[in-house]
Amino acid sequence: MIRKVVISLFVLMIIHSSILAQKLRPLPINDTTWNKPTEPFRIAGNLYYVGTYDLACYLIATPKGHILINTGLAESVPLIRKSIEQLGFSFSDIKILLTTQAHFDHVAGMADIKKQIKAKMWVDEKDAKVLADGGNSDYYMGGKGMLFLPVKADKLLKDHDTISLGGTKLELLHHPGHTQGSCSYLVTVNDEKKSYRVLIANIPTILPGTKMTGMPGYPDISKDFAYTFDAMKKVQFDLWVASHASQFDLHKKRKKGDGYKPEIFADREAYDKSIAAREADYSKIKDQP
């Protein structure tokens, strides 16, 4: 009898998983670099790059477990795991999952990783609903079903909240616009010689066709973008990286096999130009109906 019950439950789980998979919408992917492998490396101190060629994922390794920021696509999870293990860390030691934005190209692997290792999902409170319904309530890409397997947040975060683990502390910076809960993180890391204040930035790009007069489900989008441009120009840091490798010219700054060089990410001028360019995009369409 018990055996029959176990088998029945197993079958139901398979059917449930199959139904979920069938409900997922085809992803609008037109960039092969999103799932292309790339060499993992140490950025500075206990901060590491473990993402794909363009979808940036970051590991913060601590003696009490690790923090993973972003996952890339669902099919990128094995690549991320391999990168983490290649650096000498245990994938199962990840305790906290974070993201810079709840778009499928940064969170589609969260459900799988959370299920595998029981890590806790912490998210900017404004992106919690989108994360929980698989992207269906997203103001830009939503309304037609799930784009990724949903994840219920274990903890909601607000602007300037801190995430602490094993002696490392991150500060969440609420930078809305690209998504309602887009955010960046400030973290201070230390190596054998010095400490670095690192910004993991969510660059506020404006998606094609976005109307600053208001989007369905996001009437305050113009106000949020204006706030974010102002806030990001004021952030002080020593090094910076971003949600996409292409946004901070990773592959121009670092070639495969290069050694440990934190200083290559100290390009404040490039950061300022990036924010200025996005703000110029905003100014062009701000008053358009």
C-alpha 101/C-alpha 96 separation (Å) is: 16
Percent of the chain predicted with pLDDT > 90: 88
Average pLDDT over residues 213-238: 97
Cβ neighbors of 271 (< 8 A, separation 6 or more) are 199, 201, 240, 248
In this prediction, residue 42 carries a pLDDT of 98
Average pLDDT over residues 13-35: 65
In this prediction, residue 281 carries a pLDDT of 98
Band of the pLDDT at 3, cuts 50, 70, 90? very low
191 φ/ψ angles, rounded to the nearest 5 degrees: -115, -160
> Which tens digit of pLDDT belongs to each residue from 183-199?
999 999 999 999 999 99
Band of the pLDDT at 18, cuts 50, 70, 90? very low
C-alpha 271/C-alpha 274 separation (Å) is: 5
C-alpha 173/C-alpha 201 separation (Å) is: 9
Residue tagged 């999952």 (tokens) = 97
C-alpha 12/C-alpha 280 separation (Å) is: 52
Report whether pLDDT(289) > 90: no
pTM over 0.85: yes
More confident residue, 179 or 21: 179
Q: Read off the tokens for 175.
A: 């930078």
Report whether pLDDT(19) > 60: no
In this prediction, residue 146 carries a pLDDT of 96
Cα–Cα nearest to 133, from 146, 114, 115, 120: 146
In this prediction, residue 130 carries a pLDDT of 98
In this prediction, residue 21 carries a pLDDT of 46
β-strand 94-98 against 195-201: which pairing, if any?
unpaired
In the chain, the domains with their CATH numbers are 30-285 (3.60.15.10)
Cα–Cα nearest to 37, from 80, 91, 68: 80
C-alpha 56/C-alpha 197 separation (Å) is: 19
C-alpha 182/C-alpha 271 separation (Å) is: 17
Band of the pLDDT at 43, cuts 50, 70, 90? very high
> Which tens digit of pLDDT belongs to each residue from 125-146?
999 999 999 999 999 999 989 9
Q: Where are the beta strands (DSSP E) in the chain?
A: 41-44, 47-49, 58-62, 65-69, 94-98, 120-124, 155-157, 162-165, 168-174, 183-190, 195-201, 239-242
Band of the pLDDT at 31, cuts 50, 70, 90? confident
Mean pLDDT, the chain, integer: 92
- Please tell me the least confidently modeled range out of 1-5, 61-65, 110-114, 270-274: 1-5
Band of the pLDDT at 25, cuts 50, 70, 90? confident
- Please tell me the least confidently modeled range out of 8-17, 48-57, 255-264: 8-17
CB 92 within 8 A of CB 117: yes
Band of the pLDDT at 10, cuts 50, 70, 90? very low
Give the CA distances from residue 178 to residues 74, 229, 243, in Å, rounded to whole numbers and listed in that order: 21, 11, 12
